[in-house]
Amino acid sequence: MRPSNDRKEFGRRKLGVPDLVSVAECVICGASIASTKRGMVAPFLARRIWNRSAFPVRLAECGKCGFVFFASRLDQEEEKRLYAGYRKPEYQQMRQSLEPWYTVKFNYDLSGPEAWQLRKRCLEKALRDHLSPDRQVIGSVLDFGGDRGDLIAALVPNAKHYVYDISGVEPLPGIESLRSLDRCKQYHFDLVLTSNVLEHVGFPRDLMHQVAEIASPGTLVFNEVPYESATGVRTMAKRVAQAVILGVMLPRVAWSLLRPGGLNLMHEHVNFFSPQSLESLMQATGWKVLASGVYRQGDSVWSHQMAWSLAQVV
């Protein structure tokens, strides 16, 4: 597969903020957008990337593949500004100043040992259940966008473990950090993992083309993304609770969101995948999907659901 710059494939128009663009077609399959709803850029995102207050955007849905996404997209430089020093003290302090619930403890619990163990058990089971016997032997694993590499630490015994991430954080012991795509191309990987990555990126097709560039014949890629609704009951309940907290603790921030679409917040998750749209992404970028599905991260009915796909480079 040849990489492409999908930002040239889709209609784009400049908005009223530096560098922010809006697409006119689905960023996965290229079909026309079926409908849009009003939304707002979350105050933290607006401050972190553009150093400005919240502003309106549109939430779009593709009529063909069902993909839901914010039509306003982040480019690579904007993503770097957002995720530089991800979850480090400066990031956490700025975020808590605009989102009082994002405390030091909350930040730690998101990536604490218990959270990683739960995610790793789900990943191990998915791989065990869906890797055929002739593919069970994995000698090298790359965590693409994996921060410190917590998810793959000792994932496959005796395998070499690598991580590629734009945040610049130091990897865990036993994991080699690859700081650029050119560096990644110097290695062979039996398995590439993207976990909780695709929901963050402005142009998912670009990312999957990047993975294809560093893959070899037979390389497997396992993608997992939150299976969530941008406007579902669970999401809206969370937004209402957050709005109440802002109204009490940060009334000026709450006031900036009091307009149509103020609960449809564009935050770190700019894409909302279903199993269908995740498969559509892989097929649109030339991968052969071997298996896909949904699982819960926990036993409770309130546990987060994840959509996943296992594919092979062709």
- Per residue in 280-289, pLDDT (tens digit) is 999 999 999 9
User: Over pLDDT 90: what percentage of the chain?
Assistant: 64
- Per residue in 221-236, pLDDT (tens digit) is 999 999 999 999 999 9
- Contact (CB, 8 A) for 148 and 175: yes
* pLDDT number for residue 203: 93
Which SS3 state, helix, strand or coil, does residue 185 take?
Answer: coil
Residue 184 pLDDT exceeds 90: yes
CA angle 305, 59, 74 (to 5 degrees): 90
Residue 208 pLDDT exceeds 90: yes
Phi, psi of 205 (to 5 degrees): -65, -40
Of 148, 170, 162, nearest in space to 191 by CA? 162
Between 204 and 127, the more confident residue is 204
- Ordered structural domains, the chain, with CATH: 6-85+229-268 (no CATH), 112-227+275-312 (3.40.50.150)
- Per residue in 57-102, pLDDT (tens digit) is 999 999 999 999 999 998 888 998 999 888 889 999 999 999 999 9
With bands split at pLDDT 50, 70 and 90, how would you rate the model's confidence at 167?
confident
* pLDDT number for residue 121: 85
Interhelix angle 204-214/275-284, nearest 10 degrees = 50
* CA 106 centroid distance within chain: 19
Phi, psi of 199 (to 5 degrees): -75, -10
Residues 6+ apart with CB under 8 A from 279: 289, 292, 309
Average pLDDT of the chain is 88
Of 118, 134, 208, 197, nearest in space to 163 by CA? 197
How many residues are there in the chain?
314
**Strands annotated E in the chain:** 12-14, 21-23, 33-41, 56-62, 68-70, 72-73, 140-144, 160-164, 175-177, 191-195, 220-226, 265-266, 271-272, 288-296, 305-312
With bands split at pLDDT 50, 70 and 90, how would you rate the model's confidence at 6?
very low
Residue 133 pLDDT exceeds 70: no
Between 4 and 275, the more confident residue is 275
Residue 257 pLDDT exceeds 90: yes
**Residue 105 CB burial class (10 angstroms; 0-12, 13-18, ≥19):** exposed
